[in-house]
Structures are given as structure tokens and as C-alpha cells.
Amino acid sequence: MREDRPRWMRPGWLILGSLALVMAAGAAWPRVKAAFDDAPAGTASDEAGPKLPAADDTLGRPPGDARVRVEVLNATRTRGLGRRGMFYLRDRGFDVVAVGTSGAQQDSVVVIDRSGHPEWAKRVAYAMGGARIETRPDTSRYLDVTVVIGASWRAPAQPFHP
């Protein structure tokens, strides 16, 4: 007995056609992935913000014998970003002694050297993903470095603790 359906609509042909489609998509996937990995600047791959250093990187940590006192100020509208910056810097070994909100908003991260230790400011700036460094000595503060977090800084993903 012969079926009234066209040959391409029979179950065997549908399965074979679906399998061919899946194989073609699998073969094309490396090319598609490579095209997105090599995307030019300004595309979705750059929107994650500056690259943060690896956790085992020694340049983004305080010197072994020094206690670098840091103040973190949030200069964005994002609530809690200063606190996340505090946790990030503490995880890197810096002594964050104050967290607050800056009066003015800004786009980039600025590290301010308060105690005349430019090497410490460089280490904090490196830890924050290559921030701009300014020197404004202020002996009235019990600080070495002030970090003003701007909107371009992206905090690393927080660990999940169930």
C-alpha cells in the first residue's frame, strides 16, 4: 500500500533531514564562535568593562610587609558598588578602612595617593583594572589611598554560597 503523503513528509525522511540540519549547524559552530571572539572594539565583547587582574597576581596586591589603608567611594548611581569594591580589595589583601559615597558622579575609576606612596597607589590601580592615578597628599586622613569607583568599573562575579 502506498502512502498519499509526499516522500519528504514521511517520518524516515524527516528524521534524516533533521539529522543533516543538526550536523550542518555543528560544523558551522566553530566559524560562528571565531567570528564573535574576533569582534572589533566597541561590540558586545567590550561591554564587560576593563579586565581585572588574576587573583594570584602579586602586582595587584599590597607589598608583603605593608598595611595599605584604603578608602572606597562610590561615584555612581549603582547602590552597593562601593561595598563590592571594598570586598574585592579586601580579598586582594588591602585594608579597606572606609566606604562611602562620592558627591560627584564619574565614569572612570580614580585612585588618589594620600600618603606619598606612589607604588601603593599603582598596586591599587592595577587591582582595580588599570585606574587613573592622582596624587593629593592629605596628612589629616588616616588613609594611604582613596579609590573613587566610576561607572565603567565592573565588579567580579560574587561567589555562590548556598
- Write out 131-161 in H/E/C secondary structure: CEEEECCCCCCCCCEEEEECCCCCCCCCCCC
Instruction: For residue 93, give the amino acid letter.
Output: G
Please give the CATH number for the structural domain made up of 69-149.
Answer: 3.30.70.2390
Q: Tens of pLDDT along 67-109?
A: 889 999 999 998 989 999 999 999 888 999 999 998 889 999 9
Q: How far apart are the first and last CA of the chain?
A: 62
**Percent of the chain scoring above 70 in pLDDT:** 79
Instruction: For residue 6, give the amino acid letter.
Output: P
Supply the Cα-derived Rg of the chain in whole angstroms: 26
pLDDT at 38 over 60: no
**Whole-number pLDDT of residue 60:** 73
Chain mean pLDDT for the chain: 80
What is the number of residues in the chain? 162
Contact 59, 123 (CB under 8 A): yes
How far apart CA 110 and CA 149 sit, in angstroms, is: 7
